[in-house]
């Protein structure tokens, strides 16, 4: 449904919690994988519905996987 409206190669493989939509497993676009100061990993992106910033804590494995997705 929503995916169809997103031409232009926006990536939506990651989901997180959107505080604005109050939706779990909301799809994220413009995803970036960043390392936190404490050495953890985080996915940062925007809600595909309302466009507000979202982030998701990840394990190293998940981060590696996500980075792989981003380079595809």
Among the listed residues 14, 16, 18, 66, the single contact to Zn ion using CB under 5 A: 18
Cβ atoms of 54 and 46 closer than 8 Å? yes
**Closest residue by beta carbon to Zn ion:** 47
* Number of amino acids touching Zn ion (CB under 5 A): 6
Q: Does 42 bind Zn ion (CB under 5 A)?
A: no
Residue 66 host element (H or E): helix 60-71
How far is it, in rounded angstroms, from Cα 38 to Cα 68? Answer: 22
Write the binding mask 21 to 40 for Zn ion: x where contact by CB under 5 A, - elsewhere.
Answer: x-------------------
């Amino acid at each position: 449904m929503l995916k169809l409206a997103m031409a232009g190669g926006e990536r939506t493989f990651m989901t997180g919690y959107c505080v604005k939509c109050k939706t779990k497993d909301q799809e994220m676009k413009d995803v970036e994988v960043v390392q936190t100061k404490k050495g953890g990993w985080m996915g940062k992106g925007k809600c595909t519905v309302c466009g507000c910033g979202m982030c998701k804590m990840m394990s190293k494995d998940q981060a590696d996987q996500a980075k792989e997705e981003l380079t595809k």
